[in-house]
Structure 1
Amino acid sequence: MQRLLSRVTRRTPAVAVLACTVWSAVALAQPHAVRHGLFTLSSSVVNTQSISAETARQHGIEPSEQRAVLNVVVFRDVDGVQWPIRAAVSATRTTLLGVQRDVELRQVEDQGRVSYVGTFEFVPREVLDFSVTARIDPASPLLELSFRERMTPTQPPASTR
């Protein structure tokens, strides 16, 4: 993932800043990814208090001890370089009790590069199962990614899978 970030950040200023800020909100926030052919669906979860105040303000994120950010990026492999691309992206989170809620994602774009960001509230120490899907175009296969996070206040979530 570090190699991927360095490739992306060389060519994508604002999206790279957001992605790096969210992703670097310490390497404790484990990015999750699935690859299908030339495409990679990647996602990570970070507590909003781990994001710099400037980045939070710039992207309309209100930091809170019990609020997190879900960051989703779809990459296309072009000659060995991963490029963020547009896709129809959706995400849900499900508690261990089976309560499912959508994570409303908004597109963040700069110079043709794109990522999808959404915030959600959580209960401290809550375990959430995330399901993220992306479709590049109507003819492409659906990319699906599932992962589990234990939510912790004031620190980035700890991955449990």
Structure 2
Amino acid sequence: MKHLFTFLTLLCVSLSIQAAGEQKQVFGRYEVHYMMLNSTTLSAEVARSYQLQRSGKMGYLMISVLENKEGGDLPQAVPAMVSARIKNLIGQERDIELREIQEQGGIYYVGNFSFDDEDIYRFEIDVKAEPGQDRPFTVRHQQQMYFE
């Protein structure tokens, strides 16, 4: 429980310091929330508990998928098939290995990636939120990453 509170607090703080504000894309009744930050923004304890590498040259990606149900007050976390890739501006591309974390009504997909200081990266996240969904929702995001 303590780790969940720490992780969620970090998420809120991290989202508030992003220049663009909240990062999400909406696909019909689904919302895909995501953030990419230097892994040093995580405390050592939180990084260890979520098995994330913590380094000034490593970033982490966190994704959650929420569903807005008719008549529902708040969107609810839903499990999904999620994959992610990172590409630099010269076209070098690699997959980001994601792990699913379920805690107290929240479902998160997290993974680490290495990056070069001040480089701009394109992230592509594919989400299948429903069984039998033919095509994934695709989130595309570009962000500059910095060493700490």
Shorter-chain TM-score tier: 0.7 to 0.9
Q: In structure 1, what is the Cα distance between the partners aligned to 2:77 and 2:56?
A: 30
1:146 corresponds to: 140
Deviation for aligned residue 1:152 = 0.4
Structure-1 separation of matches of 2:41 and 2:55: 10
Identity within the alignment, %: 22
1:130 to 101, 109, 123: 123
Structure 1 residue runs of 5 or longer lacking an equivalent are: 1-11, 155-161
Give the number of equivalent residue pairs.
Answer: 143
Local SS of the residue matching 2:117: coil
Q: 1:48 aligns with which of 35, 39, 44?
A: 39
Could you tell me which residue of structure 2 aligns to residue 18 of structure 1?
7
Inter-CA distance 28–110: structure 2 relative to 1 (3 Å threshold): same
RMSD (Å) for aligned C-alpha atoms: 2.1
Matches of 1:142 and 1:62, distance apart in 2: 28
Q: Which moved more, 1:126-135 or 1:140-149?
A: 140-149
Instruction: Tell me how far apart the structure 2 counterparts of residues 67 and 43 of structure 1 sit (CA, whole Å).
Output: 17
1:27 and 1:84, CA in 2 relative to 1: closer, same or farther beyond 3 A?
same
What is the distance in 1 between the residues matched to 2:10 and 2:45? 10
